[in-house]
Chains A and B, each alone.
Chain A
Amino acid sequence: MDQQIVNAIFIGSIYALFAVGYTLVFGILDILNLAHSAVFMLGAALTYSLAINHGQSFWVAAVLGIALSALMGLVIEHVCLRPLRRRHAPPIAALISTIGLALIIVAAVEQGRPGSLTSSLWVDGANSVAFPAGTIPNPIWHVGDLTLEATKVVIIPISIALMLVLGYVMRYTQVGRGLRAVAENPRAARLMGLDVDRMISLTLVISSALGGLAGILFGAALGDISPYIGRDNVEVRGLAVIVLGGMGSITGAVFGGYLLGMIEVLAAVKLGSGVRGGVAFAALFLVLVLRPQGLFGTRLRERI
């Protein structure tokens, strides 16, 4: 059972890191960025491609992968969100436009084959690929009955450190105060001299960098990189996590990520894989019924 708890903490860290980016955008903009799972996938795919097809070391590829994911945040803002915001479109329009962008990103990667337009980014089409052994150092430690793989263990401190840094930035820095001001009331923030568009761009950049990093860690640890890893593994789960934790709450996203990881692993062990997803979403349903604002939410506003 101890090993299963380690498994749960590991997968929970991935969920948490992904969900923090998800909830950050929701907290600031009051919209769900459903392109976040595509950015998760893009981070992993670009890092793999840079390392394997373009001869970069994994570390350089990972840094570039995070940077390109962050850049994708700007694309989301400038293509999907800002034009609609200018037209005072309802939040549902932004939500749909991010779904559209996610589909385009996945389709573009899916079509990436040698000789195709996107071949410089990805050449494996719909295939699932993994970093060849040796690309990433992965020492394995055996502590008592526990098996600890470096590529999985490292996710935990990275996730916790980044979430602590983000929490600190949001709470104690000028940028964080600006972001919270925009979240509270964009119009008032603008009247107080804040560049709201810049703040929103910054939010998308941070969120997407975290999403891309989560994807890279996922791909490195689980050996599964394909156009569908975001859709199949974190898209709906990320939503469940932020609802469990309380939408817009970074603390809630962290807690929700680990909680979902634990619920899923325990369900798989005790009840079988068939109910793994079902139990997780039953918990989500219970939270929605009993505490709609989530475990760490303090208020409930009308949101899409």
Chain B
Amino acid sequence: MGETVDMNRMRLVVGLLATLVLAACGSTGTPGGNSGNSYSGKTIKLGAVYSITGAGGVYGPQSRDGALLAVKQINASGGINGAQIELTVEDDTSDKAISSQKTQSLIQQNQVLALLGPTLSNSAVGAHPLAESLKTPMLATSTTGIHIVPDCNAPSTTPCKYIFRDSLGEQTAIPDNIMSYTNDAHPKTGVLLVAQDDKFSSDGGKIVQDTVGQYNIQLLKTIPFSKNDADLSSYVTQAVGLHPDVIFITSLGGIPAKIMTAARNQNWQGQFLGGNGFNTATVSKQAGAAGKGAPSASAWYIGNTFPSNADFVSAYKAEYSKDPDQFAAQGYTGLKILATSRRCGSSRWMAPAGSSSITRSSPAR
């Protein structure tokens, strides 16, 4: 995958995730499933909170584009029982507080029925409990940290009823990636470079620490850093100086690419292992030759020959003149899940007389 680099993705396709979430949302699985309630002439307002800019800007735009493609396809085919979907996308600039503000605004001012997002786990910590408290379904299309679904209100263990996801959690992705690489290459030692001030990254670090022992990999050192550190050279020098077989990177945005480049410049020849943060062509492009061969687990694979996936890939290419990535696929799927769900979070969609919009039967706002 990638435009200039072939980051050799593990083809861990977890294609049934969407189906699982559909079940959670009680969908009929087809647009317009509520045949007894015509939505003709109405609008279904949906929202999305994505990181179009900032650290998550390497992921969010693709999710947005995937979701917008799904909207276009659904509306072109007659909508949901005749109702057209209106998707409002907000940029949270990768900021946790802004993400919550945008979520609240979409729910309370725009009166959206359901939302996608946010892009980053760090933002989901604020946005998801808020959507849960406002009893509005929110489907995470790329958040993969610990406690995203179903316990979005952790440490409370009461399951969240309104928060769903179609993304592959790091608790699955990272261990499977380590297992796969260990089976092939039998590494003995590793160093973990982890951005300590970001939920996605620090969760990934914990998962690596909890996993390596199972595969007899000695973790020589955990080197934490801040996601705001522009100069990572001192951390990379420390890692390379320990001569590990593997450098685990749990971070997002452009940071993995910077670490890979710096380590290769210092003549380190070992293997990089990562998580979902690697899974976009943008990161591959930034890493260039330094990122070649770095594996990570992915919820989606462009070469998957399922007809629905092949149709999505060709439609995305036709629309945007480029290949989709995991984040585009999850945005696309997420929107289709929302659009086809008429019963999410114990509320049904209704078309009240005299209103131009579809509402939920049990609004809590």
Contact = CB atoms under 8 A, between A and B. Distances in A.
Nearest to B268: A147
Interface residues of B, number: 32
B37 interface: no
Nearest to B95: A126
Interface string A1-14: 00110011011000
Nearest to B195: A273
B184 interface: no
B156 interface: no
A299 interface: no
9 contacts: A125-B52, A147-B267, A218-B230, A229-B230, A232-B230, A269-B234, A272-B224, A273-B229, A276-B229
B126 interface: no
B257 to A, nearest CB: 8
Interface in B215-255: 223-226, 228-231, 233-235, 237-238, 241, 253-254
B237 A7 contact: yes
A3 B224 contact: no
A268 B235 contact: yes
A140 B265 contact: yes
Interface in A129-170: 130, 133, 140, 142, 147, 149
Contacts of A272: 223-224
B101 interface: no
Nearest to A233: B230
Contacts of A102: none
Contacts of A265: 234
B224 A224 contact: no
Interface in B194-208: 196
A264 B229 CA distance: 12
For the complex of A and B, the 8 pairs showing the least CB-CB separation, nearest first, are A126-B53, A125-B53, A127-B57, A224-B230, A273-B225, A7-B233, A126-B54, A147-B266
A142 B224 CA distance: 27
A273 B226 contact: yes
A4 B54 CA distance: 29
Contact of B53 (A127, A273, A276): A127
Given A133-B288, A224-B258, A233-B230, A3 B53 contact: no
A100 interface: no
Contacts of A127: 53-54, 57
A272 B223 CA distance: 7
- Interface centre among B55, B230, B234, B266, by most A CB within 10 Å? B230
B122 interface: no
A218 B233 CA distance: 13
A222 B224 contact: no
A127 B91 CA distance: 12
A7 B258 contact: no
A223 B258 contact: yes
Q: Most chain-B CB neighbours within 10 Å: which of A8, A11, A126, A232? A: A126
Nearest to A272: B224
B93 interface: yes
Interface in B253-288: 253-254, 258, 261, 265-267, 286, 288
A3 B288 contact: no
Interface of A: 3-4, 7-8, 10-11, 110, 124-128, 130, 133, 140, 142, 147, 149, 218, 222-224, 229, 232-233, 264-265, 268-269, 272-274, 276
A232 B245 CA distance: 33
A229 B230 CA distance: 8
B94 interface: yes
A124 B91 CA distance: 13
A276 B197 CA distance: 14
A191 B194 CA distance: 61
Contacts of A218: 230
A269 B234 CA distance: 7
A126 B230 contact: no
Contact of B241 (A3, A222, A274): A3
Contact of A125 (B57, B196, B225): B57
A17 to B, nearest CB: 14
Contacts of A268: 225, 234-235
Contacts of A128: 54-55, 57, 253-254
A147 B267 CA distance: 8
A142 B267 contact: yes
Given A10-B233, A126-B54, 14 more contacts: A4-B238, A125-B93, A130-B254, A130-B258, A222-B231, A223-B286, A224-B254, A265-B234, A268-B225, A268-B235, A269-B234, A269-B238, A272-B223, A276-B226
Contact of A11 (B52, B94, B231, B286): B231
B231 A149 contact: no
Contacts of B237: 3-4, 7
B140 to A, nearest CB: 21
Given A126-B53, A274-B196, A274-B224, A4 B254 contact: no
Contact of A222 (B53, B93, B230): B230
A297 to B, nearest CB: 28
Interface in B312-326: none
A270 to B, nearest CB: 10
